[in-house]
Amino acid sequence: MTEVNNKQKITIFDVAREAGVSKSTVSLVLTDSDKTSEKTKQKVLETISRLGYVYNRDAASLRSKRSKMVAVLINDLTNPYSAQLAVGLERHLYQLGMLPMLINSDENYARQQNIVSTLREYNVAAIIMCPAPGTEISWIDGLIQSGLPVINIMREVPFCNAPTVLPDNQKGTHIATKHLLNQGFTKLAFLGGTDDISDFHERLRGFQLALASQNIDIASCPIVQAKTNRQGGREAMLQLLKETPNIQGVICFSDVIAYGAIESLKSMNLVAGKDIKIIGFDDLADSSLMSPALTTVRIDADDIGKRTCQVLSELLNGTQPPVRTLVDVSFKIRASA
């Protein structure tokens, strides 16, 4: 066995010589190729460990024009559902052999653009993002035309060329609204979200279609827009009660909005589920633990991650994924409705 001078940087040629294989075989092992036998792979890996060789993946990605790094741009990491989504994405990206880089765009399109511009310098393999409000079709299409795969999740940029993975937002609010209508409640409202994001329109549409299915005048059911945080829910609920004191049930844009709405009810000595029915959207971990427990539409974050990575795999393999992937939702009935 040849003694390697430890004062010098260990190279791939040293590994090949010590393992008694070719440089190409070492490269195949380093890139997780299935073209080497398990016995050869173990011999090369043991040699790498013994010699202390470090594989320079940055240099390798420049040679291959593809890195293992995937940028995940989340629109608002302060939102609890975003954390669940990030965990789901990470799990499935690791299974693909990719390295996720998690970044918060803070619902800011200019920040999103700057982040992506910087990421391109690092030769990321793909961008997965929940697009910030105002994201332009031409910007996304320009990224794709430059050879950078882009996948939109949770929100759409209509008519752009990026494949999109979405929960079935419309179905979720339709089921939730029908649940209240079937109990005889007709004085309903939609609370939270803003019209510059696509999921607001989808969830609102499900609410309105359910009303129309029972010939209820849509104009008689208030829509109160609000920022998608707890304080937005508090303020929207107070506004709703001031303008429509006889409201019977509320479909909230998200669980976080519902949390704020319930807090406002408590401040007015009203009880969610008894005085006014409250339904959320997301099924956060805390929703079943609240008092009262929150009825909500459940989005499986792990399923979103799985389906997103299926699309990514197709893009990286040069095949055409579906333009729009809808992930099913379910309805969790609890004490608040």
Same domain, residue pair 188 and 281: yes
What are phi and psi for residue 334, nearest 5 degrees? Answer: -135, -165
- pLDDT for 48 equals 87
Same domain, 155 and 239: no
**Where is pLDDT greater, at 222 or 7?**
222
Write the pLDDT tens digit of every residue in 190-207: 999 999 999 999 999 999
In a domain, 263, yes or no: yes
Q: What is the DSSP letter of 154?
A: S
Amino acid letter for position 220: S
> How confident is the model at residue 31, as a pLDDT?
74
Q: Is the CA virtual torsion 61, 62, 65, 67 positive or negative? A: positive
**CB neighbour list of residue 301: distance below 8 Å, 6 or more residues apart:** 81, 84, 85, 87, 88
- CATH code of the domain containing 193: 3.40.50.2300
Q: What are the residues facing 252 on neighbouring strands?
A: 191
Does 305 share its domain with 159? yes
CATH number at residue 42: 1.10.260.40
Q: What is the mean pLDDT of residues 266-287?
A: 97
Same domain, 193 and 114: no
Q: Give this prediction's pTM.
A: 0.80
Residue 7, in any domain of the structure: no
Q: Does residue 98 sit within a domain?
A: yes
Give yes or no: residues 34 and 102 share one domain. Answer: no
Q: Provide the 8-state DSSP code for 334.
A: -
- HEC readout, 219-242: HHCCEECECCCHHHHHHHHHHHHH
Q: Is there a single domain that holds both residue 286 and residue 309?
A: no
Strands in 324-327's sheet, in edge-to-edge order, are 99-104, 69-74, 126-129, 150-153, 164-167, 324-327
pLDDT reported for residue 6: 46
**pLDDT by residue (tens digit) across 285-317?**
999 999 999 999 999 999 999 999 999 999 998
| Neighbour tally for 57: CB within 10 Å | 15
Asked whether residue 142 falls in the same domain as residue 111, the answer is yes
Together in a domain, 58 and 158: no
Q: How confident is the model at residue 282 (pLDDT cuts 50, 70, 90)?
A: very high
One domain for residues 305 and 161 = yes
Q: At 336, give phi and psi (nearest 5°).
A: -70, -15
3 domain residue, yes or no: no
Alpha-carbon span 113 to 262, nearest angstrom: 37
Confidence of residue 7 (pLDDT cuts 50, 70, 90): very low
Question: Span 31-38, mean pLDDT?
Answer: 80
Instruction: State the total domains in the chain.
Output: 3
- Position 337 in a domain: no
User: Mean per-residue pLDDT for 97-102?
Assistant: 93
| Residue 271, domain extent | 169-299
- Is the pLDDT score of 60 beyond 70? no
Q: Could you tell me if 77 and 189 lie in one domain?
A: no
CA distance 299 to 318: 29
- 217 and 174: one domain? yes
Within a domain: 24:
yes
What single-letter amino acid sits at 121?
Answer: E
* pLDDT digits 0-9 by tens, 224-241: 999 999 999 999 999 999
Residue 4 in domain? no
Average pLDDT, the chain: 91
Above 70 in pLDDT, residue 5?
no
Whether residue 34 is contained in a domain is answered as: yes
Q: Are residues 122 and 195 in the same domain?
A: no
